[in-house]
Amino acid sequence: MEDTKIVDEYAKRAVEKLKMKKEGNLIVFEGIDGSGKTTQVRMLVEYLQSRGIDVVFTDWASSANIGKYIQTMRKDKIEVVPRTFSLLHAAEFAERLENLILPALSAGKTVVCDRYVYTAIARDSALGVDEDYVKEIYKLAPKEDLLLYFDVPPKMALERLIKRAIKENTAKQTTKKGKKGKVAGTISPAGTIAGTVAGTIAGTVAGTIAAKIGKLDEKEKASWTDYATMYGYMKDVFKTEKDEEAYYAFVAKVVEKYKTVTGENNAVVIDGKIPADFIKTQIMSVVNKKIFKAE
């Protein structure tokens, strides 16, 4: 059995690699889809780069193998049970941790994450997976230096998502590159919770939107930029009232858990309702104060 010691030795090394020392700063953006965080992430990355800081940006569910497959699952609407959904995302995170987040942090770079472990805690526990279980499978995640939570009413978030879908669809049709079916894939609610009970609901929402956008003519599409029309349109995004209720009930659960868990981790709460430029200024000031210790 002398030989098995070799296995232990190499296995230990493989696992130790995931406990690298963190030198750089870690900034985390959290919030539901349509809360405005992604826009702000981009602006912050640009700002940091303009200051000559070495920044690495990373998106949720984006790793080379597991992440790529999660994206395929979203697109093809492959459904899995909540625990499988949860473990798959933890696998994706562990892959990205080793290949991207840890190397950057140990090299002293600043890492900006669009979603982090709080997304998993909020979403998976809303799906019925035990919160402690989720926390345990993300135990490798280094603690962030700054956590920003984007607070926005679920209804407003959904409006933004619909607007975004319309805009993307219109752009695609103009360039004649777009495929109708693609819209569903680009709308976040379908994407982020696809493969779950709630995903089915959100998927239906996105599917409905995509189908309707596909059918309507240019004139009508143009009028959707108008808020009042949008609101009227939103009313029949959901096939039935029950679908609508289920959707909002799920989002409400996510938001509730999000607030608790980000609150426990001293998140800076960003009011996602205010204009993007104001938020940008606010975030720059928080980052300068908390990360770069400026006056």
Partner 1 sequence: MKFAKDNFQRNGALIIVEGVDGSGKSTQVQLIGRWLESQGFSTVFTEWKSALQLKPMFKKIWKEDIRINPYVFSYALAADFYQRMEKIVIPALKIGQIVISDRWAFTGIIRDTSRGLDRETVENIYQYAIKPDVALYYDVPPEVAVKRKTNVPRYYESGSDLGLPYDRQKNFEVFEGKQIETYRKLAGEGLITLVDGNAPITLVSPKSRNIVKNLFKKRFGVII
Residues that bind partner 1 in the complex, under the rule CB under 8 A? 1, 3-4, 6-8, 10-15, 17-18, 65-66, 69, 72-73, 78-81, 83-85, 87-88, 90-92, 94-95, 98, 133, 136-137, 140, 195
CB of 58 to partner 1, least distance (A): 16
CB-nearer residue toward partner 1: 102 or 205: 102
**Half-sphere exposure in the Cβ direction for 146 (13 Å, CA):** 25
Q: Least Å distance between CB 57 and partner 1?
A: 21
Closer CB to partner 1, residue 85 or residue 224? Answer: 85
Q: In the bound complex, what is the minimum distance in angstroms from residue 12's beta carbon to partner 1?
A: 5
Determine the Cα angle at 42 with ends 37 and 44, to 5°. 90
The pairing of strands 55-59 and 146-151 is unpaired
Cβ atoms 146, 287 nearer than 8 A: yes
Which DSSP string corresponds to the chain?
Answer: -TTHHHHHHHHHHHHHGGGPPP-S-EEEEE--TTSSHHHHHHHHHHHHHHTT--EEEEETT--TTHHHHHHHHHHHT----HHHHHHHHHHHHHHHIIIIIHHHHHTT-EEEEES-HHHHHHHHHHTT--HHHHHHHTTTSPPPSEEEEEE--HHHHHHHHHHHHHHHHHHHHHHT---TTHHHHHSHHHHHHTTSHHHHHHHHHHHHHHHHHHHS-HHHHHHTTSHHHHHHHHHTTSSSHHHHHHHHHHHHHHHHHHHHHHHHTTPEEEETTS-HHHHHHHHHHHHHHHTS---
Residue with smaller CB distance to partner 1, 33 or 92: 92
Distance of closest approach, residue 33 Cβ to partner 1, in angstroms: 23
CB-wise, 1 or 228, nearer to partner 1?
Answer: 1
User: Smallest distance from the beta carbon of 189 to partner 1, in angstroms?
Assistant: 20
Q: What is the nearest approach in angstroms of partner 1 to the Cβ of residue 289?
A: 35
Q: Which is nearer to partner 1, 98 or 131 (CB)?
A: 98
Measured from the CB atom, is 92 or 159 closer to partner 1? 92
Min dist CB 100 to partner 1, Å, is 12
Nearer to partner 1, 14 or 171 (CB): 14
